[in-house]
A and B are shown apart, each in its own frame.
Chain A
Amino acid sequence: MLKQTPKKKFLLLFVLLLILGLLNISLGSVSIPFYDILDILTGNISIKESWLTIILNFRVPKAITAILVGSGLSVAGLLMQTLFRNPLAGPFVLGISSGASFGVALFILGGSLFSGFLLTNSISYWSLPIASSLGAFFVLSAVIVAANKVKNTMSILIIGLMFGSLTAALISILTYFSEASQIQQFLFWSFGSLGNLSWNELFIFSSIYGISILATLTIIKPLNSLLLGENYAKSTGINIKKSRNIILLITSILTGVITAFAGPIAFIGLAVPHIARIIFSTANHKVLIPAVLLLGAIVMLICDTIAQLPASEFTLPINAITSLFGAPIVIWLLIRKKKLFV
């Protein structure tokens, strides 16, 4: 057997993650020598004050955000694909991302409709994340209610798609009646952004993320049993209804909190699980979950490094980069492998 063991692959990916993390932190509009960056990261603070601020308050939080967003969305995508046994499922498909977008749209665009209810021109720090989470949670609750009435998982997938269309339509209507400045504001949010997170926000983000990932580890067994379909899973003693609700809950919390803090980010949730399956050629969630965590973080760091256009003052919208560079990669991988798996 020429196959490398998963352990070796994990080690390689981990080293790659470290290198990309360092690279991501060392590149930006202000050029800072690499050795000084290492100094700052290892606790030496006797360096130029402005550099210290840039590294510790901007670049490091941004890199951490990229890691959390990438790995979190990838896990959410993996869970959806396994639950729906559909290789095209992802957080976007269930309408959760759309729900989060709708929350934000209602908040930013709805201002003029409801005659300035709640907000003036300045949007407070916390309002966006809360609006987004509420939107995600609303769609999720609707999907869970539907999931408990409808037994067929395929129907739930379609219901999720319908919710996505509904919220998209509502956003269009809101946009139509909004002022140009508000539309611009909403548009900027929808580009996605990994920066702008304070350490406090990052703390809240990572706590919710951490709990969700820990919860994911407890459902490895039902996830694996779902690989044979719900009837077989049930016949080996798995409580399908409970497992399904836990999977939906974890997905929506992860997607909700990520969309809140980083905007709607496409492609990652759908694509990374496939990259993981191709690299590790397995369906076992004991391998796939750590694999998508690592790969999601890696892919997101790469996208962010590209987005900040090294040595220039501009930053491209992260959402465009994930799609622009990710979609062709996935297409190429799939054409090479010729088959999509769950």
Chain B
Amino acid sequence: MIKNTKNIILKTDNLTIGYSQKKRNKIVLSKINIAIESGTLISVLGKNGIGKSTLLRTLSKVQKPISGFVYLDEQSLDSYSESALSKRLSLVLTERLPESQLTVFELIALGRQPYTNWIDTLSRVDLEKIDTAIKQTEITHLKNELFYELSDGQLQRVLIARALAQDTAVIILDEPTAHLDMYQTINIFTLLQKLVKETNKTIIISSHEINLALKLSDQIILMTENNLQFGTTAALVSQNIFDTIFPDTLLKFDKSLEQFVIKSS
């Protein structure tokens, strides 16, 4: 497959995100104009409470923008029906799953719901897609396990497999590395990087693992108070933006390493 990197899959036009309340809107960030190419891994970075989740929720139509537009495949998100959108965009959320006796296979199979008939019968194509997703995330050995018995890292892979089975051009993951240890975190990041390369999907994640994200992402969305920067790690580094996101008492940004390091006292 020839990788066409010029193809813009997700675009925002003067987007203002926030929460609309009865009397006045609570604006998180306004005038967001970004254009995301297909086949890229995008990390949304920023400190706690800056609005990473709000941005991802708005991009995935879970939440309405205050003003402005989001375009997916040059078509406004507003004009997508729930079922049409479910074939273009899939999610991996941070929320805890209700405790049920679903097996890993059944959970991944739920990702095929946009395509299955009224009684949820899995066709040959469905089974193939599920199988591919399981192989891509390397969880074949977990297939028949009950999902609630998995470790956090394994569960994250299963949820990614579910999103892959949904067969969408864009996958949005909200903090997929929360609660994971260092090894599992790197594991998930490299898995996502591999998936982007292999499948030409666009994957957007929010993360607090800034150092890893800077190394492994194709592009970075950096959110600060009143501002949003979008570009490759190198481009953002050259603009000296990273010095400003944290108070400079404990951490400093090492330009040559393109990493945050602890200040030696």
Interface residue? A166 (CB, 8 A): no
Interface residue? B120 (CB, 8 A): yes
**Residue from A234, A283, A284, A341 whose CB has the most chain B CB atoms within 10 Å:** A283
Q: Contact: B101 with A225, CB < 8 Å?
A: no
Query: Roughly how many angstroms separate A225 CA and B166 CA in the complex, as a whole number?
Result: 13
Query: Roughly how many angstroms separate A239 CA and B83 CA in the complex, as a whole number?
Result: 9
Residues of the A chain whose Cβ atoms lie less than 8 Å from the Cβ of B248: none
Q: Contact: A283 with B118, CB < 8 Å?
A: no
Binary flags per residue of A223-235, CB closer than 8 Å to B gives 1, else 0: 0110111011011
Q: Contact: B110 with A224, CB < 8 Å?
A: yes
- B113-135 at interface with A (beta carbon < 8 Å): 113-114, 116, 118-120
Minimum CB–CB distance for B171 against chain A, Å: 11
Query: Roughly how many angstroms separate A228 CA and B111 CA in the complex, as a whole number?
Result: 10
Query: Roughly how many angstroms separate A277 CA and B97 CA in the complex, as a whole number?
Result: 18
- B91-109 at interface with A (beta carbon < 8 Å): 91, 93, 95, 97-102, 106-107
Q: Contact: A286 with B120, CB < 8 Å?
A: yes
Q: Contact: B82 with A218, CB < 8 Å?
A: no
Q: Contact: A225 with B113, CB < 8 Å?
A: yes
Interface residue? B58 (CB, 8 A): no
Q: Contact: A227 with B102, CB < 8 Å?
A: yes
Q: Which of B90, B91, B95, B120 contacts A220 (CB 8 A)?
A: B120
Minimum CB–CB distance for A214 against chain B, Å: 13
Q: Contact: B82 with A234, CB < 8 Å?
A: yes
How many residues on chain A are close to B (CB under 8 Å)?
28
Nearest-CB residue, chain A, relative to B163? A235
Q: Contact: B113 with A277, CB < 8 Å?
A: no
Q: Contact: A227 with B120, CB < 8 Å?
A: no
Contacts A232-B91, A237-B113, A238-B113 given; indicate if A218 touches B118 (C-beta within 8 A). yes
- A180-197 at interface with B (beta carbon < 8 Å): none
Nearest-CB residue, chain B, relative to A277? B101
Interface residue? A152 (CB, 8 A): no
Q: Contact: A341 with B100, CB < 8 Å?
A: yes
Q: Contact: A232 with B101, CB < 8 Å?
A: no
Interface residue? B2 (CB, 8 A): no
Q: Which of B99, B110, B111 contacts A342 (CB 8 A)?
A: B99
Residues of the B chain whose Cβ atoms lie less than 8 Å from the Cβ of A229: 93, 95, 97-98
Q: Which of A221, A277, A342 contacts B120 (CB 8 A)?
A: A221
Query: Roughly how many angstroms separate A341 CA and B146 CA in the complex, as a whole number?
Result: 12
Interface residue? A46 (CB, 8 A): no
Q: Which of B91, B97, B99 contacts A235 (CB 8 A)?
A: B91
Query: Roughly how many angstroms separate A202 CA and B239 CA in the complex, as a whole number?
Result: 79
How many inter-chain contacts with C-beta < 8 Å in the A-B complex? 80
**Residue from A228, A229, A231, A341 whose CB has the most chain B CB atoms within 10 Å:** A228
Residues of the A chain whose Cβ atoms lie less than 8 Å from the Cβ of B83: 237
Q: Which of B60, B82, B97, B98 contacts A237 (CB 8 A)?
A: B82
Nearest-CB residue, chain B, relative to A285? B120
Q: Contact: B95 with A341, CB < 8 Å?
A: no
Interface residue? B86 (CB, 8 A): yes
- B72-86 at interface with A (beta carbon < 8 Å): 82-86
Q: Contact: A225 with B110, CB < 8 Å?
A: yes
Q: Contact: B100 with A342, CB < 8 Å?
A: yes
- A225-283 at interface with B (beta carbon < 8 Å): 225, 227-229, 231-232, 234-239, 277, 281-283
Q: Contact: A283 with B100, CB < 8 Å?
A: yes
Minimum CB–CB distance for A157 against chain B, Å: 13
Interface residue? B62 (CB, 8 A): yes
Residues of the B chain whose Cβ atoms lie less than 8 Å from the Cβ of A227: 98, 100, 102, 110
Q: Contact: A232 with B93, CB < 8 Å?
A: yes
Residues of the A chain whose Cβ atoms lie less than 8 Å from the Cβ of B166: 236
Contacts A221-B116, A236-B166, A237-B113 given; indicate if A231 touches B106 (C-beta within 8 A). no
Query: Roughly how many angstroms separate A153 CA and B97 CA in the complex, as a whole number?
Result: 14
Q: Contact: A286 with B102, CB < 8 Å?
A: no
Interface residue? A62 (CB, 8 A): no
Residues of the B chain whose Cβ atoms lie less than 8 Å from the Cβ of A238: 82, 113
Binary flags per residue of A3-23, CB closer than 8 Å to B gives 1, else 0: 000000000000000000000
Interface residue? A339 (CB, 8 A): yes
Q: Which of A220, A237, A284, A339 contacts B114 (CB 8 A)?
A: A237
Chain A interface (Cβ within 8 Å of chain B)?
85, 217-218, 220-221, 224-225, 227-229, 231-232, 234-239, 277, 281-284, 286, 339-342
What 5 pairs across the A-B complex have the smallest Cβ distances? A237-B86, A237-B83, A85-B98, A283-B100, A236-B113
A-B contact pairs, 6 of them (CB 8 A): A228-B97, A229-B98, A235-B60, A236-B86, A237-B87, A286-B119
Can you add 19 more A-B contacts, CB < 8 Å, to A232-B93, A282-B101? Answer: A221-B113, A221-B120, A224-B110, A225-B110, A229-B93, A232-B91, A234-B62, A234-B82, A235-B60, A236-B111, A236-B113, A236-B114, A236-B166, A237-B86, A237-B113, A237-B114, A238-B82, A284-B102, A340-B99
